Structure 1
Amino acid sequence: MRAVTLTAPGGLDKLVLSDRPDPGQPGAGEIRVALHGSSLNFHDYLVCSGMSPTADGRIPLADGAGVVQAIGDGVTDFAVGDHVVSCFFPDWQAGPPRVGDFRRVPGDGIDGFAREVAILPATAFTRAPAGWSHAEAAAITTAGLTAWRALVVDGGLKAGDTVLVLGTGGVSIYALQIARAMGCEVIATSSSDEKLTRAKDLGATHCINYSEQPKWGRAVRDLTGGRGVDIVIEVGGPGTLAQSIEAVRIGGHIALIGVLTGIAGEVPTAALMAKQARLQGLIVGSRQEQEEFVRALEAAAIRPVIDRTFALEELADAFRYEESAAHFGKIAVSW
């Protein structure tokens, strides 16, 4: 089978496509999946660029989707021919968060899905939405489930709420789509007017160019009549958190997802206290939450926004495109 591996300590020029031995047949409780699609996430970029080092020879990419080729003894959730999608935390099946690191995350602590075949426990996958391409299904694993958990599981999203999404990457665009499908208003930010126009086409009620309005937290409050938004999808980190606190309503929810502006910084604690807002960090979600998300996607007829698709042998180029920040939604890989 073909697979991409990463030579430690990393770097996009260290991604190599090669032939590897076929993994054989699944054992008890396992399934063999012919993989056909993946999608890129910022976490994958950190690993492959060497900013978050992994083991030498690691197969990257946390997201994977494909078709079940064989099942091992005791597997009842899947049958040969089923379309499936991977889980970010393969050992977190249900319940409250149980992991706080990436030691068992595909593409980081264990081998990921930049390969043609994988044999893993059946519990490391869920079914994919009916009728979706493999590239679309792969976009569920990290970005999609993160947005779902931030809004619905943790944020308690309900019809009539107002949601603020920062930027137009995979998580934020998924959050926009979920919120609109659930009858909510969405305010989107970006430094690109072209991207804001596309966000408006997807249903964003208001758009703010943060390069033109650096105090966008105040602008958000003005757009909501001084109340503030119910939920903020905070993907920036320390460089944007102060404005997110300004934008959220009293008693609102800030889902702290990303570290695009750094991994540490000052928190305006007095402002957060005054807002009596909930600031909750999160990393993706459980297998049960992914199963619930798949059902919701089918019911609401939501499909992910795929900006551009690359071949497996073009993985380094795909990451360079991600580096450029030119994308809107997800960058896919298909083979």
Structure 2
Amino acid sequence: MKSYHVNLGAGLSGLTIKEHHMPAPGPAEVLIRVKASSLNYRELMILKGFYPLPVRPDVIPLCDGAGEVVGVGDAVTRVKVGDRVMGQVFPDWVDGPFARDYAAQLGGSLNGMLTEYAVLPENGVLQIPAHLSYEEAAALPCAALTAWNALSGGRGLAAGETVLTLGSGSVSLFALQLAKAAGARVIATTSGEKKAAQLKALGADEVVNYIAQPDWYLAVRELTGGQGVDHVVEVGGAGTAEKSIRSAAIEGEVAVIGSVAGEPSPFNINLIMYGMVHVRPVAIGSKAQFTAMNKVIAVNKIKPVIDRVFHFNDAVAAFRYYMEGPCFGKVVLNHE
């Protein structure tokens, strides 16, 4: 079997492919023939050397992946050979709030999914919704679950509330789709007419062009009658943090996904206190949240937005394409 490997800070030139013996599952583990995987911004952070969680040397990258169970350990009872499954980014995080004890993560301190075969703990895999292909399922574990946690993991999202999403990255697109499935109104920001049309086709009720309107929070407040939005899915980091807070309603929630610039996001404490805004960091999500999200995805037949699919053998090209961005949706690797 073959797998790709990287080291923290080694850059794209450090992405190498190696051959290995076929792994065998332990008593509580499953062997998966990986059919597809996908890229997230965390992979670029690892290549650049500023990922905040531990990364093992020569790690197999990518936390997103889906495949078929081809072997099970003696103690495995929840899955069987032939099942279509996805890996969970934090295999030890079953439920409840995030804790240091759950920090082991695929493609970081644990080997990830950019491989032909992977061994995962039985508790770290979930069944793929029946309407999704392997390529579509591989898009869910990181970005979709992060969006779900951003919307439901804090104060919760109720039908009729308003959600603000920023740009057209994968987390924002999943947040748009999941918010609409919950009966929310969605305002999205973007940089041009083409993407505005794509966002509206995906379900956005209003779209604000942040190039044409640099102080886009004013447009957001105007669209909400001066009240502001109930939820902001904040993915922009230093460049958008203050405007996201200014967009939020009193007692609104800003779910912080991270800083895409690799720098801490500056949050103005006076703005937070003046608006009584709840600022909540999001660390992907637990298995319980993943399970709940999958039910919503299955019932509503939600499908991920995929920008482009590369073959497993073209992983370097896939990384380069993703790095050059911006993409509208996920960049996926087909392993078959």
Q: CA deviation at 1:260?
A: 1.4
| C-alpha distance in structure 2 between counterparts of 1:228 and 1:63, whole Å | 34
Q: Structure 1 residue 131: deviation in Å?
A: 3.0
- Cα distance, 1:265 vs. partner? 4.5
Question: CA-to-partner distance for each residue in 1:56-89, whole Å, 9 max, x for gaps?
Answer: 3211001111001111122111011100001111
Segments of structure 2 that go 5 or more residues without pairing to the other structure are none
- The offset of 1:261, in angstroms, is 3.4
After the TM superposition, which of the residue ranges 148-157 and 45-54 deviates more from structure 2? 45-54
Instruction: Write the mapping of 1:91-130 to structure 2, written as runs, cut at 5 A.
Output: 91-99=92-100, 104-130=104-130
- Residue type of the alignment partner of 2:88: C
Shift of 1:166: 0.5
Letter in 1 for 2:27: A
Assess, with a 3 A threshold, how the Cα gap between structure 1 residues 186 and 265 changes in structure 2: closer, same or farther.
closer
SS at match of 2:57: coil
Residue 270 to residue 51, structure 1, CA distance change in 2 (3 Å):
closer
SS at match of 2:153: helix
2:32 maps to which residue? 33
In the alignment, which residue of structure 2 is the partner of 1:153? 153
- Greater shift, 131-140 or 52-61, is seen at 52-61
* Deviation for aligned residue 1:238: 2.2
Distance, in Å, in 2 between the alignment partners of 1:100 and 1:37 is: 28
Q: Which residue of 2 aligns with 1:172?
A: 172
TM-score, normalised to structure 2, is 0.95
Which whole-Å CA distance do the structure 1 matches of 2:265 and 2:120 have between them? 39
Report the Cα distance in structure 1 between the residues aligned to 2:270 and 2:48, rounded to whole angstroms. 37
Structure 2 residue matching 1:154: 3-state secondary structure = coil
* Contact map agreement 2:189 2:210 (CA 8 A) in 1: yes
Q: What residue number does 1:285 align with? A: 285
In structure 1, how many angstroms separate the alpha carbons of the residues matched to 2:2 and 2:199?
A: 37
Report the CA distance between 1:313 and its aligned residue. 2.0
Cα offsets for 1:80-107 (capped at 9, x unmatched): 11000011111111122123885x1111
Count of aligned pairs between the two proteins: 333
2:70 matched residue in structure 1: 69
Q: Which runs of 4+ in 1 moved over 4 A?
A: none
Going from structure 1 to structure 2, the CA distance change for 1:66 and 1:56 (only over 3 Å counts) comes to same
Alpha-carbon distance between aligned partners in 2 of 1:160 and 1:206, rounded to the nearest angstrom: 15
- Counterpart code for 1:72: G
- In structure 2, what is the Cα distance between the partners aligned to 1:218 and 1:162? 15
Aligned to 2:302: 302
Provide the alpha-carbon RMSD of the alignment: 1.6
* Other-structure match for 2:230: 230
Instruction: For 2:130 and 2:293, locate their aligned partners in 1 and report how far apart those are by CA, in whole Å.
Output: 13
Question: Which residue of structure 2 aligns with residue 181 of structure 1?
Answer: 181
Alignment of 1:49-88 (within 5 A): 49-52=48-51, 54-88=55-89
- Going from structure 1 to structure 2, the CA distance change for 1:221 and 1:8 (only over 3 Å counts) comes to closer
* Aligned residues of 2:249 and 2:275 also touching (Cα < 8 A): yes
**For the residues of structure 1 that align with 2:57 and 2:311, how far apart are their CA atoms?**
23
Residue 218 (1) aligns with residue 218 (2): yes
What residue identity is the alignment partner of 2:199? Answer: A
Q: C-alpha separation between the residues in 2 aligned to 1:265 and 1:123?
A: 34
| C-alpha spacing 1:101/1:193, structure 2 compared with 1 (3 Å) | farther
Q: TM-score, normalised by structure 1?
A: 0.95
Structure 2 residue aligned with 1:312: 312
Distance 1:263 1:8, change over 3 A: closer
> Retained in 1: the 8 A contact 2:7–2:46?
no
Q: 1:132-186: CA deviations, max 9, x gaps?
A: 1112111111000001111122241111011000110110000000111111111
Alpha-carbon distance, 1:197 to partner:
1.1
SS at match of 2:320: helix
Distance in 1 (alpha carbons) for counterparts of 2:228 and 2:281: 20
Deviations 1:36-58 (A, max 9, x none): 11111000111134443834321
- Greater Cα offset, 62-71 or 187-196: 187-196
Contact kept? 2:45, 2:262, Cα under 8 Å: no
The one-letter code of the counterpart of 1:332 is: V
Q: Deviations over 1:200-255 (max 9, x none)?
A: 11111111111111101111001111011110000012221110011010110100
Q: 1:197: which partner in 2?
A: 197
